[in-house]
Amino acid sequence: MTVCTSFCDSYAKIFSALKEWPQYKYVSRPVYKMVAKNCNTVAAVAASFFVTDLLVHQMLPQLGFCAVSLGATCNLTYSPYVSAVWICLAIPVMISKFYKS
């Protein structure tokens, strides 16, 4: 288990190094704090990754495309496959939080 936890801790430090990025500062961190206050930190990590993916990686680019394509129909779509990838990327961070709590 020590190999797994040391890898997960290193992996979690990569994401914590992104604290100054706007999507982390204004989306991920507030969601994490809100969920961690009401649930445990593992659920908070999963929720913050999911919400950040949904808003920043999926909806925001689509809204930008809708804004520049005036007159064209705008369909906002959700891709569960993209969210699944982001949740998979969150697993090492969740493991790290689990062993720290």
pLDDT in tens, 12-51: 777 777 778 888 889 999 999 999 999 899 999 999 999 9
Amino acid type, 58: Q
Question: Furthest-apart CA pair in the chain: how many Å?
Answer: 56
pLDDT more than 90, % of the chain: 43
Between 54 and 71, the higher pLDDT residue: 54
- Whether the full predicted model's pTM is greater than 0.85, yes or no, is no
Give the gyration radius of the chain's Cα atoms: 16
Q: Cα torsion for 59, 65, 67, 68, to the nearest 10°?
A: 170
Closest to 55 measured CA to CA, from 89, 85, 27: 27
